[in-house]
Every structure is written in structure tokens, then in C-alpha cells.
């Protein structure tokens, strides 16, 4: 009997150790003690970190993680308040989100990183790159910040806040199509997107982070991009023009790659073309880092 009890205890200990280790290995702790969960596949350098947009979970990047993990170490992060990450945050700023990404980079001891940020994730990628310039070799901005000189007056900011919160609380295919989120496979894309927003999802921090995003654009954008020490490439839809000249004024290395006949979700509407442009960009970053 004693040997059976000892064997069971040993098995439980092994299960507990490996179970906790697995969970521990797939999460980091941000600077304000928020748990940040991530997925990773692949092992080769550089590490390509995919950063989702406002309220999205990391799953929005599933296809890209699978594709790029064949050649690189591909990582998708749930920022605080999204997906499986914690929401015990008091200051929902872009700097705090940048800390989320930095925590993952430090946890995994990454030394060569490409940051890919979508929508609000573009601001997070910039923040993280400025926090860890010695580890990041390039930043990819996906369909946002098309004009670094943009400003949102209070009435416009209030309208955007109301519009976007209505969208996530009462999401419909018609609204998403009208707002240009996607152009192809409407019903299937809406179904796929809806599955990322179950009825049980918490909205803690969503409104605050949206306000923080607008505040960052109005007050921190130009200062932050001027601080960047790495090349920056945008992969944008042609829904609105990219002000390349303004970007080059602040970031001389900046270049834009424009995708046509796609909505805001450029990597869902035309994943083949997006993946090709991102692969091309990663190789450009690698060559640039070697020449330094």
C-alpha cells in the first residue's frame, strides 16, 4: 500500500511539474504584473512576433504563425485584456502594451526580432521596438498609421470611440463590410471573426485602450517614430493613401508596400500576397542588420 501511495504521489508531482512548466513557458509577466500569454512555433532566427489589433486575440494571426514557423520562430501574443491574457491593468496605454511584448521577448531571451503589428498593434510594435532597440531588427506596420501627421480633435475622437465600441458590442457582417474590414468571402470571414468574440469574452480595458490609442497618436506618435533605431516597412491596403513622404521625414528607412482589392484585414483577404510581402520584408531586415 505504501509503495502505491508513493507511486501515485510521484505521478502527481510529475504531472504538476510539467503542467505548470508548460503553462509557465507560454506566458510572461508584464511590468505591471499582468499575465501575457503567447503561442510559438518554429525555432530559427529571427523571431517574428505578431501583434494583434484592438480587442483581437492572438488567434487572428494563426495562418501567419503556421506559415512563417516553417522558416522562423513565429510568435503571436495576446496583449493585456485580449484572448487568454490577464486584464488586471489600471493604465491602458500603448507604453503598457509595449511592455507586454517586451516581457515576452525577455522571457524567451530573444536576440533578433521582427515585430509585426496590425491596426492598433502598429503603435505597440513601435513602443516595443523603442524599449528594446538592441533586440529588434525591424518593424512592420500592417494597415494603420498611414499618415504620421494625423491628429484626432476631441469631437472626432469621441465619434471613433462610440463607433468602435458599438461595433464590438453589436458586431454584424454589414457593419464590418461597410467599414472596410474585409472585401472577400463576406459570410465566411464574418463567421471566422465572430468566433474570436464569444459572448463570454470580457471587455475590461477595451474602451480605455481605445482612448489610449487615440491619445498616443495625438501626443506620442511623431516623437516615438523619431526614436526608432530600426527600419520600418508598412504593408497597407489601398483603402486610404499612405503618406510616404511624411514617414520618410521621420524615418528615412521607411517604405510602403500596398495591397490592392483588400480590406483592413489584408492578411485574411489575400494571405498569399501578404505572406509574400512580409517574407520579402523580413529578408530586407536581415540584410540590413548584417550590414550594420
Q: What is the pLDDT of residues 153-211, one digit of tens each?
A: 999 999 999 999 999 999 999 999 999 999 999 999 999 999 999 988 999 999 999 99
- Structural domain of 234: 27-291
Ranges in the chain, pLDDT < 50: 1-23
What does the pLDDT read at residue 10?
42
Say which CATH number the domain at 61 has.
3.40.50.1820
| pTM, to two decimals | 0.92
Please indicate, yes or no, if residue 207 is contained in any of the structural domains: yes
| Domain count within the chain | 1
CA atoms of 53 and 266, how far apart (whole Å): 13
Please indicate, yes or no, if residue 63 is contained in any of the structural domains: yes
Please indicate, yes or no, if residue 212 is contained in any of the structural domains: yes
C-alpha cell at 277: 510581402
**Radius of gyration for the alpha carbons in the chain, expressed in angstroms and rounded:** 20
- SS3 per residue for 11-78: HHHHHHHHHHHHHHHCEEECCCCCEEEEEEECCCCCEEEEECCCCCCHHHHHHHHHHHCCCCEEEEEC
* Phi and psi at residue 264, to the nearest 5°: -60, -40
What does the pLDDT read at residue 24?
55
What does the pLDDT read at residue 291?
83
C-alpha cell at 48: 517574428
Pairing status of strand 35-41 against strand 73-77: antiparallel
Please indicate, yes or no, if residue 265 is contained in any of the structural domains: yes
CA atoms of 49 and 40, how far apart (whole Å): 9
Please indicate, yes or no, if residue 1 is contained in any of the structural domains: no
Please indicate, yes or no, if residue 5 is contained in any of the structural domains: no
Please indicate, yes or no, if residue 241 is contained in any of the structural domains: yes
What does the pLDDT read at residue 5?
42
CA atoms of 267 and 218, how far apart (whole Å): 27
What does the pLDDT read at residue 16?
40
Please indicate, yes or no, if residue 194 is contained in any of the structural domains: yes
Amino acid at each position: 500500500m505504501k509503495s502505491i501511495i508513493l507511486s501515485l504521489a510521484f505521478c502527481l508531482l510529475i504531472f504538476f511539474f510539467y503542467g505548470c512548466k508548460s503553462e509557465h513557458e507560454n506566458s510572461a509577466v508584464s511590468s505591471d504584473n499582468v499575465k501575457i500569454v503567447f503561442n510559438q512555433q518554429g525555432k530559427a532566427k529571427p523571431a517574428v512576433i505578431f501583434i494583434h489589433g484592438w480587442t483581437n486575440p492572438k488567434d487572428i494571426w494563426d495562418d501567419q504563425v503556421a506559415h512563417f514557423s516553417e522558416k522562423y520562430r513565429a510568435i503571436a501574443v495576446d496583449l493585456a485584456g485580449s484572448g487568454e491574457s490577464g486584464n488586471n491593468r489600471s493604465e491602458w496605454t500603448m507604453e503598457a502594451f509595449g511592455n507586454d511584448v517586451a516581457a515576452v521577448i525577455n522571457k524567451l531571451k530573444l536576440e533578433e526580432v521582427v515585430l509585426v503589428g496590425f491596426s492598433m498593434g502598429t503603435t505597440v510594435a513601435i513602443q516595443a521596438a523603442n524599449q528594446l532597440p538592441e533586440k529588434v531588427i525591424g518593424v512592420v506596420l500592417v494597415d494603420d498609421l498611414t499618415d504620421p501627421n494625423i491628429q484626432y480633435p476631441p469631437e472626432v475622437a469621441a465619434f471613433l470611440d462610440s463607433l468602435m465600441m458599438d461595433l464590438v458590442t453589436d458586431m454584424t457582417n454589414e457593419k464590418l463590410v461597410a467599414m472596410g474590414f474585409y472585401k472577400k468571402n463576406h459570410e465566411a470571414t464574418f463567421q471566422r471573426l465572430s468566433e474570436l468574440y464569444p459572448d463570454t469574452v470580457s471587455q475590461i480595458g477595451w474602451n480605455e485602450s481605445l482612448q489610449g490609442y487615440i491619445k498616443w497618436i495625438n501626443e506620442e506618435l511623431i516623437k516615438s517614430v523619431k526614436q526608432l533605431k530600426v527600419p520600418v516597412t508598412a504593408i497597407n491596403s489601398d483603402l486610404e493613401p499612405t503618406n510616404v513622404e511624411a514617414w520618410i521625414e521621420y524615418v528615412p528607412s521607411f517604405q510602403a508596400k500596398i495591397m490592392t482589392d483588400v480590406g483592413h484585414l489584408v492578411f485574411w483577404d489575400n494571405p498569399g500576397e501578404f505572406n509574400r510581402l512580409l517574407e520579402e520584408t523580413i529578408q530586407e531586415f536581415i540584410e540590413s542588420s548584417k550590414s550594420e
